[in-house]
Amino acid sequence: MLLQIIDSINGIRQVLKTFKKSNFQIGFVPTMGALHDGHLSLIREARKENDVVAVSIFVNPLQFGENEDFHHYPRPFENDRLLLSKEKVDILFYPGKEEIYPETFSTSISIKKLENKLCGKSRPGHFSGVATIVLKLFNIVKPDVVYFGQKDFQQTVIIKKMVSDLNVDTKIKVLPIVRDKDGLALSSRNAYLNNDERKEALCLFKALTKAKIMIDSGVTISGEIVNEMKCTIKEYKLARVDYISIVDKNTLEDVEYAKSGDVIALAVKIRNTRLIDNLIIPSLLFILYTITLLLKDSI
């Protein structure tokens, strides 16, 4: 099927209605465009698992603060369209701002507690904006399965909570972070980095690697791990830490001792570009398995 580009809510509802009548399973990947391999990994999984794949591109003004990059956010529509065609996506929902937020729009979703932690501290209102657009998109598309990337870890926790609290009849799948060869997590905002900044951006991955090494060697005190991560980042001249936290994967509360399943999350500004990354601490079994594999290879 050729990619259909639809810009109206009625239009996409009409098209999806016929698929739903035939009991087709609908997979959905909401995005803000500027697609990279991270998005493509979600789209490919959706393609494998569903009869119909819908992707949305909408740069959501509600999730940007006043001094943030809404106006500069990359919008390479033609490139995105080609990528989606190549991945055999069926439907691209590409609405304008008026279609989504008419002048009279006045509702917002708030996920108490969770929205003010981690990134929420320096981006007030961001997660309320995310939850509001995501719920709107869920109500428009009514997907069976929706795909998100683990890079936006807090976003995935908040969306899962909203889906559970509001009984949204959709399955949420979270797929692993996709990284460049050197470890930098893919993000549409990486496009802002010049050569020097791109080199410095590696500090997030370096700090997470440092944390992993410490945990593998038996360190569990969160404060110690976070301090070492801060030291790693201090070596990078253009980097300024926003936060580094080790948190419970559901409540996002700081944990005193890091254990498997907890999440190490950080946000760092490289000059004007704010980047995030995270690591879910693997289970001991997984660590032992990796060590066994490594030993096997070295024999």
> Which residue matches tokens 């959706």?
46
Scanning 11-19, 26-34, 75-83, 220-228 for contacts with ligand PAF by CB under 6 A, the matching segment is 26-34
Provide, rounded to whole angstroms, the least separation between the CB of residue 126 and ligand PAF. Answer: 9
Scanning 4-12, 25-33, 213-221, 257-265 for contacts with ligand PAF by CB under 6 A, the matching segment is 25-33
109 vs 281, beta carbon nearer ligand PAF = 109
60 vs 150, beta carbon nearer ligand PAF = 60
Residue 42 CA to residue 201 CA, distance in Å, equals 24
Residue 233 CA to residue 268 CA, distance in Å, equals 9
Provide, rounded to whole angstroms, the least separation between the CB of residue 194 and ligand PAF. Answer: 23
Does position 27 bind ligand PAF by CB under 6 A?
no
Lateral strand order in the sheet of 263-270: 239-247, 263-270, 273-280
151 vs 255, beta carbon nearer ligand PAF = 151
C-alpha distances in Å from residue 82, one per residue of 86, 89, 141: 6, 10, 22
Does position 156 bind ligand PAF by CB under 6 A?
no
Binding residues for ligand PAF, how many (CB under 6 A)?
Answer: 10
Does position 141 bind ligand PAF by CB under 6 A?
no
31, 128, 154, 156: residue in contact with ligand PAF (rule CB under 6 A): 31
80 vs 152, beta carbon nearer ligand PAF = 152
27 vs 30, beta carbon nearer ligand PAF = 30
Does position 32 bind ligand PAF by CB under 6 A?
yes
Provide, rounded to whole angstroms, the least separation between the CB of residue 30 and ligand PAF. Answer: 4
Residue 239 CA to residue 95 CA, distance in Å, equals 36
Residue 275 CA to residue 2 CA, distance in Å, equals 35
73 vs 205, beta carbon nearer ligand PAF = 73
Tell me the per-residue interface mask from 95 to 134 with ligand PAF, x by CB under 6 A, - otherwise.
Answer: -----------------------------------x--xx
Provide, rounded to whole angstroms, the least separation between the CB of residue 206 and ligand PAF. Answer: 24
**Positions marked catalytic:** 39
Q: Contact positions toward ligand PAF, by CB under 6 A? A: 30-32, 60, 63, 130, 133-134, 152, 155
